[in-house]
Structure 1
Amino acid sequence: MRNVQRRVLAVVASAATAALLAGCTVTAPPKTPVESPAGLEEFYQQQLDWNDCEPRGMECTTVTAPVDWENPDGGDIDLAVVRLVTDGGDRVGSLLMNPGGPGGSGVELVQQAAEFVTSDALRDSFDIVGWDPRGVGQSTGVACYDDAEMDAFLYGVPANPTGSDAWFAQQVEVEKAFAAACAENTGALLGSIDVESNARDMDLLRAVLGDEKLNYLGFSYGTSFGAHYAELFPRNVGRLVLDGAIDPSLGSAETFTVQMGGFENAFRAYVTDCLAGSACPFTGTLDEALAQASALFAGVEGRALTGDDGRQLTASTLGTALSYPLYDEASWPALSQMLTELGASDGDATMALQFADSYNSRTPDGGYADQSMAVYTAATCLDSQFVGGLDSTKATLAAIEAAAPTIGRYVAYADWVHIDIACQNWAYPSAITPHAITADGADPILVLGTTNDPATPYAWAQAMADQLASGVLVTRAGEGHTAYGQGNTCIDATVDDYLIDGTVPATDPLC
């Protein structure tokens, strides 16, 4: 899953103002003592030092966790945490939030967008808490390449046509070098970025925040954190909302194939809408327009299109640029503009490169705002199984093309091909075998799915809700990634009633 929630954070944060959440710091309630698991007392009983931080009204701290939960004496890491303390009179507890990824920053989510992704009612009832998962942001980090090396890795023009046998052979060498750099520059933490390690961190956060049970709002890949938490700690589950759910039972090849089909469905919806409006780069019927799109994409690399900074648009970078605006229906007009510029006789790749840069956290000066690509790769390698060499890589690419005939191969060049080859050469073995999660004994868990979600297809939410013994499916009919905080009052009310009052819908409200 390629850093999917980073796009959602970008959409939400774009609406934020400089004066976000201005106000005075309030005094947090006293912490309730919680039980510590045997052998982990030094972590579960640590006292936190909260300090005022930006923006006004926020408090920040650092929590210490073991690098390896199976070997708690083998070294420590720091987890960056931020909270907005409620000043409401009916405090329920803490509400942990995670934006997904892998690689998304919960600290940034809360600091930049808390008032846009939570309702007034939630902020009156909970301390809103975000943390940077292990390897991410201000927590102890993963490191692979410096900025110049990452630029060459992501945007370098291949010596051979993308998708050719010679290109695949070169990709093996490229990904081996990347995997080796990650191992050398990160160390042992690289083997402990898996979802279960993060779920154990969440229980630690629950304890040091003084909550008997965990209340959690997780988006996209963050739903995997929540599901694995419920599996490991079913009796500690309070109120969990898993929005844009992932099916934990799927293997890597099927996961990527289904996801690419989701992007294809979103692209078809975009083209349908585009043809009904003005300033559309395509004409005719839907099938005719899709054929025009396919011809445009197939010719991009051969035309050597460049942006205003001189960089050339490759087929894989095109895939990144296409996926970025498909996360959000409001971005479809910008996608039309990008495609119009690419299709012009003097084709311009500037906007496509800007979309890819935003997705990759690349700054205008060629730097990188975070190591999310490294975290994404590390977590994905540990959370599933990748075997079979190039034959397996190519077979799944063929399946992706069948499921997503217009855009699948391009998105997969940047995503599936990178991940599959890198993970086959990773320094640490997989930590997770994909399996259905039932979490027997957990309180009811809300699972949210959007019917035409490109990044986490609706079928995944249906599957997770079915697998969880206490799963309750809540459906949002529409386009775009995730459901809560997207302007659907039915969804927002259902989630708020559940988190604040514990009200579980008797049936799917079909919002």
Structure 2
Amino acid sequence: MDTRRLFRISATALVAAGLLLSGCSSDSASGAGTGTRTGAGSTAEQAALKKFYGQKLAWRSCGAAGFDCATMKAPLDYAKPDGTEISLAVARKKATGPGKRLGSLQVNPGGPGGSAIGYLQAYAGIGYPAPVRARYDMVAVDPRGVADSEPVECLTGKEMDAYTQVDQTPDDPREETLLTTSFKKFAAGCEKRSAKILPHVSTVDAARDMDIFRAALGDKKLTYVGASYGTFLGATYAELFPGNTGRLVLDGAMDPSLPARELNRDQTAGFETAFTSFAADCVKRKDCPLGTKSVADVGARMKAFFTALDAKPVATGESRRLTESLATTGVIAAMYDESTWPQLREALTTAMAGDGSALLSLADSYYERDGDGTYANLMFANSAVNCLDLPPAFSGPAEVTAALPSFEQASPVFGEGLAWASLNCAYWPTKATGTAHRIEAKGAAPIVVVGTTRDPATPYKWAVSLADQLSSATLLTYDGDGHTAYGRGSDCIDTAINTYLLEGTPPKPATKCS
């Protein structure tokens, strides 16, 4: 169960979400470093970046639904822009009309490690509200290290299968060693297969790539919708380029001021909040496999089931068995979207009867594992970005052990496993380049921050905090379940965001939707 700091819309939740694509090139785009507060580099470095900002994208058709794709160049190392170049995959779907085109709308679905192009083509470019798609070219760039943009690679499919089954609630020193060894093997695999790109996949790097993409599209300002981790990416962009920010929607917000351990503990509490909501719904239903006595009893039964799997995994009809770690990941995957709760009840029912295949399928969707045993690079990129953005949550097993009570207080159901999962970055081969800090983005245009009150992956208090930090932000609240809010069924949320994107008018302060 490697769920450490995975701020994303999961594969299951993506089915209920929707988002967007891109535009044309002109000489009106701002040049390198315009409006930059940090990260622009010296005058010589800015001059060297001009070739990237001035590049023309060679679009080609890539799909029956009217999508275009291209390759964008960026420097591997922004401190050495005359050095090695990398290729980033970009895509668009042109505005459909009617109405005057408003420019390009960049999107990012989170992760880190989620493919923005995959999100665009599967959901955004066809599922976003029609008035938005009519006025904007819907565009996306796969962040460096992700999917088709110099992807980070770490383990083979078989190695990843073994990694996901390692016991992440160790009961003795031997099991602790097995767990730490698995983290070390994962990190070593990333270094072996991705040494060139590994030091250059930070969120700051990705935000700077977004500004090059903005310029290559011919847009003076960035219009952007970022979900989950995509909110951190968007906030980082606003910090680096406040003068280039246009209309930014940050949905399912992260809090950039928190260090890794506190982020992980807060997210652990978020999953407990979501599970409590699931449990409250479950006890009302005759098919609840965890009983109908009380919410507390559901939690106790869930934990007992995990403990039983730790001792004896369940058959799945294939060589892999349903271990405690895989079962926990499957349950967590279903917490991202309340529409998955019926599927989770059925999967738990069959697993408790000796067939773990349905719960294993939920875990596989979370890890983006295909039926042939291959994995997308989501988890590889996720670790690479997280471990570069912040110093590790823990330096070793002793620190995890000391912190276990606070994690288990945050979540009696998930606390132990999520605490140990947070140890991964302790063995990372590349030292962190980022630090936790407040992001104010002074001088940026009005920004809309969206928070969901029972969001499992990005707790609501993070949205409150980010809206308070950003000097021009307005907080929009969704009183509900699931991860993120836009495009998930609330007319109130969708209307407020659509109005902002189309007219530039943010919602009134303290607006709350349900």
* Superposition TM-score tier, normalisation by shorter sequence: over 0.9
CA deviations 1:382-440 (Å, max 9, x no partner) are: 11111532222223333211110023324x1xxx53442x3122111111110111111
**Would the alpha carbon gap of residues 110 and 277 (structure 1) be closer, same or farther in structure 2, given more than 3 Å must change?**
same
Q: Residue 393 of structure 1 aligns with which residue? A: 400
**Structure 1 residues 484-495: aligned runs within 5 Å:** 484-495=486-497
**Structure 1 residues 296-311: aligned runs within 5 Å:** 296-311=305-320
Separation in 2, partners of 1:138, 1:109: 13
Q: Residue 123 of structure 1 aligns with which residue? A: 133
- Give the 3-state SS of the residue equivalent to 1:166 in structure 2: helix
Whether the aligned pair in 1 keeps the contact of 2:306 and 2:328 (CA below 8 Å) is no
Q: Residue 256 of structure 2 aligns with which residue? A: 248
Separation in 1, partners of 2:303, 2:242: 48
Query: RMSD across aligned C-alpha pairs, in angstroms?
Result: 2.2
Q: Which amino acid aligns with 2:396?
A: G
Question: Which of the residues 58, 63, 83 maps onto 2:67?
Answer: 58
**Structure 1 residues 291-440: aligned runs within 5 Å:** 291-344=300-353, 347-368=354-375, 370-386=376-392, 387-410=394-417, 412=418, 416-420=419-423, 422-440=424-442
Question: Which of the residues 110, 113, 133 maps onto 1:103?
Answer: 113
Moved more, 68-77 or 474-483: 68-77
Q: Could you tell me how far 1:301 is from its partner in structure 2?
A: 1.9
Q: Residue 467 of structure 2 aligns with which residue? A: 465
- Give the 3-state SS of the residue equivalent to 1:510 in structure 2: strand
- Give the 3-state SS of the residue equivalent to 2:250 in structure 1: strand
**Residue 212 (1) aligns with residue 220 (2):** yes
Whether the aligned pair in 2 keeps the contact of 1:63 and 1:79 (CA below 8 Å) is yes
Q: Could you tell me how far 1:31 is from its partner in structure 2?
A: 5.9
Q: Which amino acid aligns with 2:233?
A: F
Whether the aligned pair in 2 keeps the contact of 1:242 and 1:448 (CA below 8 Å) is yes
**Structure 1 residues 175-190: aligned runs within 5 Å:** 175-190=183-198
- Give the 3-state SS of the residue equivalent to 1:406 in structure 2: coil
Q: Residue 265 of structure 2 aligns with which residue? A: 257
Separation in 1, partners of 2:180, 2:285: 44
Whether the aligned pair in 2 keeps the contact of 1:199 and 1:228 (CA below 8 Å) is yes
Whether the aligned pair in 1 keeps the contact of 2:264 and 2:422 (CA below 8 Å) is no
Separation in 2, partners of 1:161, 1:10: 25
Q: Could you tell me how far 1:351 is from its partner in structure 2?
A: 1.2
Whether the aligned pair in 2 keeps the contact of 1:293 and 1:406 (CA below 8 Å) is yes
Separation in 1, partners of 2:350, 2:228: 31
Separation in 1, partners of 2:328, 2:396: 23
Q: Residue 283 of structure 2 aligns with which residue? A: 275
**Would the alpha carbon gap of residues 283 and 13 (structure 1) be closer, same or farther in structure 2, given more than 3 Å must change?**
closer
Moved more, 281-290 or 351-360: 281-290
Q: Residue 35 of structure 1 aligns with which residue? A: 31
Aligned residues: 494
TM-score, length-normalised on structure 2?
0.92
Moved more, 481-490 or 82-91: 82-91
- Give the 3-state SS of the residue equivalent to 2:441 in structure 1: coil
**Residue 446 (1) aligns with residue 454 (2):** no
Moved more, 445-454 or 188-197: 188-197
Whether the aligned pair in 1 keeps the contact of 2:271 and 2:411 (CA below 8 Å) is yes
**Would the alpha carbon gap of residues 116 and 324 (structure 1) be closer, same or farther in structure 2, given more than 3 Å must change?**
farther
Q: Could you tell me how far 1:286 is from its partner in structure 2?
A: 2.0
Q: Which amino acid aligns with 1:438?
A: E
Q: Could you tell me how far 1:26 is from its partner in structure 2?
A: 12
Separation in 1, partners of 2:155, 2:403: 28
**Would the alpha carbon gap of residues 236 and 487 (structure 1) be closer, same or farther in structure 2, given more than 3 Å must change?**
same
Q: Could you tell me how far 1:14 is from its partner in structure 2?
A: 7.3
Q: Could you tell me how far 1:335 is from its partner in structure 2?
A: 1.0
Q: Could you tell me how far 1:116 is from its partner in structure 2?
A: 5.6
% identical equivalent positions: 40
